[in-house]
Amino acid sequence: MSMKAPGKRHRGAALIVAAVVLWCFNNPATISSATDPTLDHFECYWITHNKTNIVVSLVSRFESSTATLAKAKRLCLPADQNGEDPSAPTHPEHLVSYLLRGVVDTTKFESVHVNVNNEFGTFGVQIVRSNFLLVPSSASLSSPPPPLSSSTLDTFECYAVKVGPRLLDGHVMIEDELGTHQEVIRKVHLLCVPVDENGGGVVNPAAALMCFKTKLPELLGPVFANNQFGSQTFQQLRHQTDLCVPSTIS
């Protein structure tokens, strides 16, 4: 069965919706400057998984685009940092990071400079390009889990950034489902912002995650996840790559 291409009216409506969402992300009167107190720290691990081919429509504070989810690359576990939230490792909401390919802007993307604030300081970063999509998921180390029964965690679009030659040497104690370990925070890797995916809306436009490079050898598996794209099995869960911390953008 053939399908007609969208008419001018439908394309115009889509552009209006994208413009309204972008305005809400960037209008100071609509966004609180406070960090979301319900947003966890996340410890992210490399995973081994088959390729995917899922097309999504995305609207973030930086751009409106379509992209293809090419492959699941990381599994991010809720984590307690330095004893700040001992209950975090038991929280049900995890994040699966998908590599974005074929990103096509429906509104012009402009590389902008923003200041990002979090517990490690203030970072001036230049937004370069969209790289990953963080999708709320359930996860289990023992068996395939059911989908999340309810979630207030946004989907996040992660951007590669340029930052001045500022290397950190901060030692933090992390506890997640895999145990407790100390790691060294090296440098800024990604800035992740809430994104309206396929018209699903955004819970907290002011929330953000800044991800820092880390490394601590680990090797185990398999691990199981479930999200809007179905049940998935990752054959390996390898060393940590990032610690993502709640942040605000100004």
The pLDDT of residue 150 is 83
**β-bridge partners, 72:** 98
Give me 195's structure tokens: 């994104």
Q: Over 80: is that where the pLDDT of 25 sits? A: no
Give CA–CA dist 185/159, Å, rounded: 19
pTM, full prediction: 0.81
Q: Which residue has the tokens 């995890």?
A: 94
- Mean pLDDT calculated for residue range 158-182: 85
Give CA–CA dist 138/107, Å, rounded: 32
Q: Over 90: is that where the pLDDT of 96 sits? A: yes
pLDDT in tens, 37-54: 679 999 998 888 778 899
Domain ranges across the chain: 8-249
Give CA–CA dist 100/55, Å, rounded: 9
Give CA–CA dist 209/239, Å, rounded: 20
Give CA–CA dist 62/64, Å, rounded: 7
The pLDDT of residue 110 is 86
Give CA–CA dist 232/128, Å, rounded: 30
Is the preceding peptide bond at 222 cis, omega within 30 degrees of 0?
A: yes
Give CA–CA dist 85/52, Å, rounded: 34
What lies within 8 Å, CB to CB, of 150 at 6+ separation is none
The pLDDT of residue 235 is 66
pLDDT in tens, 194-230: 999 999 999 999 999 999 998 765 556 677 888 888 8
pLDDT in tens, 100-146: 999 998 888 889 999 999 998 899 999 999 999 999 999 998 889 99
H/E/C letters for each residue in 126-140? EEEEEEEEEEEEEEE
